Copies of this chain bind each other. A is one copy, B any other.
Amino acid sequence: MSYGDDRTYKKVEVIGVSKKGLEDAIQVAVSRAQQTLSKVSWFEVGEIHGHVSPDGKVSEYQVVMKVAFELT
């Protein structure tokens, strides 16, 4: 890639879920997207949600994000 060349990227919205924390939830979604999409170039976090178990502990983090990759 050189700056100035015609290129097209695509962004896909995914939600990564992990009980470990925010960074891990991001990595879960990136890894999953990498499997079936082209190589992910970057991500952008949209919203951060999570589930709480009955004992009041955060049981998982849900990160709504976009992953982007080049359409080659």
Range for the number of chain A residues in contact with chain B = 35 or more
Considering only residues 1-42 of chain A, those with a C-beta below 8 Å from chain B are: 3-19, 21-23, 26-34, 36, 39-42
* Stoichiometry (number of copies): 12
Judge whether A42 and B33 touch: CB under 8 Å: no
Judge whether A3 and B60 touch: CB under 8 Å: yes
Judge whether A58 and B11 touch: CB under 8 Å: no
Contacts of A5 on B, CB cut-off 8 Å?
A: 17, 19, 60
A30-B52, A44-B47 known; A9 vs B3 contact (CB < 8 Å): no
Contacts of A10 on B, CB cut-off 8 Å?
A: 12-15
**Interchain nearest-CB distance for A19 vs B (Å):** 4
